[in-house]
Amino acid sequence: MSRKELLRDMRKKTLDSRGQHITESEPLLNGESSNGSRRDGEVKGRNWIVSDLIGIKDMMVEQWYINIFLLVLPPAILSEYLEWSKPIIFVLNFIAIIPLANLLGSATEELALRTGETVGGLLNATFGNAVELILSIAALQKGLINVVQGSLLGSILSNLLLVLGMSFFFGGIKNPPEQSFNLTGAGTFASLLLVSCIGLCVPALFHNVLPGAQQKLLYPDDEIMLSRVVAIILGFVYIMYLVFQLKTHSDFFESEEDEEDDVVPILSPAGATVMLIVVTLIVAVCSEALTGSIEVMSGFMSEAFIGVILLPLVGNAAEHLTAVTVAMKNKMDLAIGVAVGSSTQIALFVIPVITLAGWVIDQPMDLNFRIFDTGLLVLTVLIVNLTLMDGKSNWLEGIMLISTYVIIAFACWFNPERNTPPESTMHMEL
């Protein structure tokens, strides 16, 4: 949904050339199919495969500035099996997941265009955050609960501060003196963020108001169960939000530039499904290698910086570029949908799913974010609500949001939780 405008622009440039390729190939294929319906079926099967391959090629070429990092994918996959040093494994897989996340989003949108608005919305809700889900589950299986909590919080912060801030800044510079957007849709996002913020703050408050001696001796199970109950409630709110957005009040989220009829799928349903499955599996492999090297990397930088700052950039890099691009085209409704809408999905969908997944795999994943993290979330939601309340934006508001994110990044970098590994381990890994 948030990628639809970018895909529309890409199709305008590629459908003509794609049609020429298919037209050139059809006479040869049709010439081979003069006898029998069985042969016709083989030709049709071969035809959609050729068409999908051309469509994928067009996708890769049009977004070459992101997909060029796929060159890192082969060594990234091999690095884990060849037992290279952990820092190298981390860097290679970190870079490789960025274009994979972009391809995963494109495949999801292609399939969503084929399945209708309701099913498409569910697909976007699920696979639109697949990278965050896969990374979080991989880290959760290794018991890196602080990293999981930090990466989920960081995804919200980066979307609300960095992505929205860059959209306001570059959009305001390109389209002075100010830009306007749909206040009703933005207000809905802002209200949902406040609800999710309350839901994520309550477990932390519950933990910290108890006497220190009782926190671990009397009430550990109560804290976990409270987090799971809150996760279920937030998930229910998200389902109701989907009904609100896709069914009962869909006009609240439509912009004047929305021309959905112009969006033509490039891939067939089978091609989009195969692409979605293959890319998801590759992301899972890279995520496993990436999370497996986090403990060593925490000797060189804090886990807070890795979780809150670095990991969110992996899954959101393509969406960051999308938001800035459409903001410069003066389409702020779409930019806000990418930035604030993605944060809403993380808070109301991904975090509850990861919390319940911890329940299934017997990991004590809860919503007891540290007071520092909770404070950052509250202040971020507050400043974003203040910038959205007038329905207008300018470059100065962008500077304020970006500056806030930079301050948080430095706070995470100087976090005292940096773990220094033994000297022998550092020599071995380097």
Q: Are strands 392-393 and 179-180 parallel, antiparallel or unpaired?
A: antiparallel
Provide the CATH number for the domain around residue 180: 1.20.1420.30
State the chain's mean pLDDT as an integer: 78
CA neighbor of 195 nearest in space, from 231, 234, 161: 234
In a domain, 79, yes or no: yes
In a domain, 127, yes or no: yes
pLDDT at 176 over 50: yes
> What digits encode the pLDDT tens for the residues 361-387?
888 888 888 888 888 899 999 999 989
Q: pLDDT band at residue 404, thresholds of 50, 70 and 90? A: very high
In a domain, 240, yes or no: yes
> What digits encode the pLDDT tens for the residues 185-238?
788 888 899 999 999 888 888 777 765 545 554 555 777 888 899 999 999 999
Q: Which domain holds residue 285?
A: 4-33+44-429
In this predicted structure, what is the pLDDT of residue 354? 93
DSSP annotation string for 140-199: HHTT-HHHHHHHHHHHHHIIIIIIHHHHHHHHHHHS-S-EE--HHHHHHHHHHHHHHHHH
pLDDT at 257 over 60: no
pLDDT at 118 over 80: no
Least confident stretch, 108-112, 118-122, 332-336, 338-342: 118-122
In a domain, 39, yes or no: no
pLDDT at 400 over 90: yes
Q: What is the DSSP letter of 267?
A: S
Query: 419, 299 in Cβ contact below 8 A?
Result: yes
In a domain, 38, yes or no: no
Q: pLDDT band at residue 395, thresholds of 50, 70 and 90? A: very high
pLDDT at 112 over 90: no
pLDDT: which is higher, 47 or 83? 83
In this predicted structure, what is the pLDDT of residue 121? 60
In this predicted structure, what is the pLDDT of residue 46? 53
Q: What is the DSSP letter of 391?
A: S
Q: pLDDT band at residue 8, thresholds of 50, 70 and 90? A: low
Structural domain count of the chain: 1
In a domain, 320, yes or no: yes
pLDDT: which is higher, 261 or 100? 100
Q: Please tell me whether the overall predicted TM-score, pTM, comes out greater than 0.85 for this model.
A: no
pLDDT: which is higher, 405 or 28? 405
In a domain, 122, yes or no: yes
